[in-house]
A and B are shown apart, each in its own frame.
Chain A
Amino acid sequence: MSSSNASPAQAQGPAQAIPPTPPFTPARRLSLRSTAGGVRKAIYFAILAGCVVIFTYPFLWAVSASFKPRPEVFDNALIPHNWHPSNYLDVFRGVAATAYKAPFASWLWNSLWIGVLAAVTVTISSALVAFGFAYFRFPLRNFFFGCVLATMMLPGVVTLVPTYLLWNKIHFTGPGTFLFLSKNQYPLWAPNLFGSAFYIFLLRQFFLGIPRELFEASRMDGDNYWTMFWRIAAPLARPAMIVTFVFEFKASWTELQKAIIYLRADQTFTIPRGLKVLLDLYGPSAGGQGDYQVIIAGTVLATLPMIIIFFLGQRYFVEGIATQGRKG
């Protein structure tokens, strides 16, 4: 307060000392500063544009290389000299010299339905649990919520072995189906039926922001707890639930560890697991012929859905990340 009062007085000081200039000085200063600001802003934009090139170039390089014939993959030209779109067909039908034909379409399909199932189940279950934490007052609530927060910090590798043994014990690591779905794919999505710590935390924050009067009013109208959740809380929390859905779909689509542990037959593979097979099959380090154009085409096909879902749900990704950071 005192500083803002003092500043006009200080500004007038030099202006009074040099009488002829006052009408011009502020204007000249202003224009000078704004051009300097403009130049500075232009520099910022130039630096950022350079960074944009660096950050997107690996993608552009991959898309470009996926259209090149085999000898030209590493020529690093942005526009292919010879277009060779049949690389994408080779992803599905295999390279002529290789006996193994990768069921790439099955991998895409598996990743898609497992991802959707994982995302839907985790969204619903986490929302239920989050509502329980947000709405009710019950004994040991803080203790249980502390447990939720603690599991966020737990390194996944600690539970990897016992979880595998558990699935193995109930015979979900071998062949066979259960409720029309392949048994050994269950470990990739079924744990999501029981909520996930980060999403519970995220959704609880959101539910806490809903005015309690809304729930009291709906209770007066004869809602029970379930309809209160389903008719009031869940629709209002739609943005947070979409955040949960897109985050989990991404997490499921990119999951590698579980896919290696649980998926045995190549028909049941997901995209990351399959892509690793392609790399090991065609890459020379593992005895392949070095058909990198096919590996890269597969990489592009695996990454493209993520780029699309990001552009569709961009707002929600940014929202989810910012919420995560705010609670640090």
Chain B
Amino acid sequence: MATATATAPGPRVRARRWFSGFGDRDTWAAFAFLSPWLFGFVVFTSGPMIASLIISFTDYSIIQTTHNVGLENYRAAYHDPQVRTALRNTFVYTLMSVPAHVIVALWLASLLARVGRAAGFFRTVFYLPVMSPGVATGILYLLIFNGSYGLLNEALRWFHITGPFWTTDPLWVKPGLALMISVWGVGASVVIFLAALKGVPQHLYEAAAMDGAGKWRQFRDVTLPMISPAIFFVVIINTIAGLQTFDQVYTAFFNASTPYGTSASLMYAIYIFQEAFTLFKFGYASALAWVLFAIIGVITAIQIVASRRFVYYEGQR
């Protein structure tokens, strides 16, 4: 994408001023094509973002008159025990689900890369859970992970393992959710990794084998660096998704009688949602949303900086 845009204007064109094209008929046609997005960007993205930031400094809630409260919402968030619980749950869930997701996806993809044409069939099967609506996954989680009569513990019993009470034991709620949401929904990443694995040139493996590298060394020193851009992408996307987990957890743990779920299942995005749309504390919810935005920004930035050490892009030395 960067290459396509960079090669387009020649040196002569680049010397022009950025605004010099505004008189052209082409330019007006281009903006006509762009106009739906321009409108949507202002009305549904940048406008609401600015509004959200402003609202976060007020005690806005449709019902009462609005006051400017400065940083009060952010201060309240810092001292809110629910925020701490929600943040801890969300971080723990993300830290469990992302590595599990990446490892299982990588393992399945490298198995698929070895079975030739049958890979298409298996890829289809592994993708199916991705199609399951979040609410359906949440319901299945509730039933299959049930401690006393769920399918999972029944299966564990065959191996003489007494399974924990996945949905009620605070220690096991997040591992269970990570298994059901992140690991079961591994299909899209399997597709990405499989495509990346197929792109690794065979001669690299031959050269490595020639140099006496075993299977593990080949995987570590050839496969991993060559597919590192795909791994990086999957990690970033799943971290962002993990920090915003909503549908499945909301379905399984939240209803009118438990607006804050259980202390082990309260996720940050759900807490924001409940503050905003059941208590109508729009100011507070907006502040919480910006805190999440900042957290996601910082974590993504750390991952990008870290990726410079670990991610290898071909054609760039």
A residues contacting B by CB (< 8 A) are: 3, 7, 40-41, 44-45, 47-48, 51-52, 55-59, 61-62, 65, 74, 76, 125, 128-129, 131-133, 135-142, 144-145, 147-148, 151, 153-166, 168, 191, 193-195, 200-201, 205, 208, 225, 229, 250, 253-254, 256-257, 260-261, 271-272, 275-276, 279-280, 283, 285-287, 292, 295-296, 299, 302-303, 306-307, 309-310, 314, 317-318, 321-322, 324-328
Residues on A with beta carbons closer than 8 Å to the beta carbon of B302? none
Distance of A303 Cα from B234 Cα, bound (Å): 25
In the complex, the answer to whether A51 meets B62 with C-beta atoms within 8 Å is no
Asked if A200 meets B191 with Cβ closer than 8 Å, knowing A45-B115, A302-B136, the reply is: no
A318 to B143, CA, bound (A): 30
Contact A276 B251 (CB under 8 A): yes
Given contacts A45-B115, A136-B30, A193-B40, 9 further A-B contacts (CB under 8 A): A160-B289, A165-B51, A225-B33, A257-B247, A279-B251, A303-B132, A303-B133, A325-B196, A328-B232
**Given the known A-B contacts A41-B114, A166-B48, are A303 and B144 also in contact in the complex, defined by CB atoms under 8 Å?**
no
- Is B131 on the interface with A (CB-CB < 8 A)? yes
A142, A225, A296: which contacts B143 (Cβ < 8 A)?
Answer: A296
Question: Does B19 contact A163, Cβ atoms closer than 8 Å?
Answer: no
By the criterion CB–CB under 8 Å, are B296 and A155 in contact?
A: yes
Question: What are the residues of chain A within 8 A of B315 when measuring CB–CB?
Answer: none
Q: Which residues of A contact B266 (CB under 8 A)?
A: none
Closest 6 CB pairs between A and B?
A194-B40, A328-B233, A132-B33, A325-B192, A136-B30, A162-B48
Known contacts A55-B129, A138-B30; A299 and B36 CB within 8 A of each other: no
A155 touches B9 (CB 8 A): no
The answer, among B118, B129, B154, for a CB contact under 8 Å with A58, is: B129
Pairwise interchain contact A137-B8, C-beta atoms closer than 8 A: yes
Is chain A's interface secondary structure helix, strand, loop, or mixed overall? helix
Query: Across the interface, do B33 and A131 meet the contact criterion of CB distance under 8 Å?
Result: yes
A133 to B34 Cα, complex, angstroms: 8
Q: Are A205 and B244 in contact (CB under 8 A)?
A: no
Q: Does B172 contact A (CB under 8 A)?
A: no
Whether A310 contacts B232 in the complex (CB less than 8 A), given A137-B9, A318-B123, comes out as no
Partner of B273 from the list A157, A159, A283, A302 (CB cut-off 8 Å) is A157
Taking the closest CB of chain B, its distance from the CB of A132, in whole angstroms, is 3
The CA-CA distance from A215 to B43 in the complex, in Å, is: 33
Q: Are A151 and B27 in contact (CB under 8 A)?
A: no
Given A144-B34, A193-B36: A139 and B233 interface contact (C-beta under 8 Å): no
Among residues of A, the one whose C-beta sits closest to the C-beta of B104 is A51
Minimal Cβ-Cβ distance residue in B for A327: B1
Asked whether B264 is an interface residue with its Cβ less than 8 Å from the other chain, the reply is no
**Would you call A155 and B136 a contact (CB within 8 A)?**
no
> Which one of B37, B47, B131, B184 contacts A303 once the chains associate, using CB atoms below 8 Å?
B131
What are some 12 contacts across the A-B interface (CB < 8 A)?
A76-B149, A76-B151, A138-B24, A154-B49, A158-B49, A159-B52, A162-B47, A225-B29, A256-B246, A256-B247, A303-B136, A324-B192
Contact A48 B135 (CB under 8 A): no
A285-B139 Cα distance, complex, nearest whole Å: 13
Is B255 part of the contact surface with A, judged by Cβ < 8 Å?
Answer: yes
User: Nearest Cβ in chain A — how far from B38, in angstroms?
Assistant: 8
Instruction: Given A158-B289, A161-B289, A296-B139, verify A139-B115 contact (CB < 8 Å).
Output: no
Instruction: Pick from A51, A159, A327: contact of B44, CB below 8 A.
Output: A159
Is there an interface contact between B52 and A3, defined as CB atoms closer than 8 Å? no
Contacting residue for A275 out of B30, B43, B135, B149, CB 8 A: B135
Pairwise interchain contact A163-B44, C-beta atoms closer than 8 A: yes
Verify A59–B128 contact, CB threshold 8 A: yes
- Check if B191 sits within 8 Å of A62, measured CB to CB: no
Contact indicator B277/A158 (Cβ below 8 Å): no
Chain B residues contacting A256 (CB-CB under 8 Å) are 133-135, 246-247, 250-251
- Asked whether, in the complex, the Cβ of A132 is within 8 Å of the Cβ of B34, the reply is yes
Max count, chain B CB within 10 A of own CB: residue among A148, A160, A166, A261 = A160
Complex partner residue of B125 from A55, A65, A200, A225, CB under 8 angstroms: A55
Q: Which residues of chain B from 200 to 214 have a CB within 8 Å of any chain A CB?
A: 207, 210
Contact A41/B27 with A129-B33, A296-B143, A306-B132 known, Cβ cut-off 8 Å: no
Residue interface bits B241-258, CB-to-A below 8 A is 1, else 0:
001101100110001111
Complex: how many Å from CA A299 to CA B134?
Answer: 11
Query: Which single member of A58, A153, A321 contacts B191 (CB below 8 Å)?
Result: A321
Residues from 18 to 59 in B contacting A, C-beta threshold 8 Å: 18-22, 24, 26-27, 29-34, 36-41, 43-49, 51-52, 55
Q: Contact at A132–B131, with CB atoms within 8 Å?
A: no
A258 to chain B, nearest CB (A): 11
B26 near A161 with CB under 8 A, answer: no
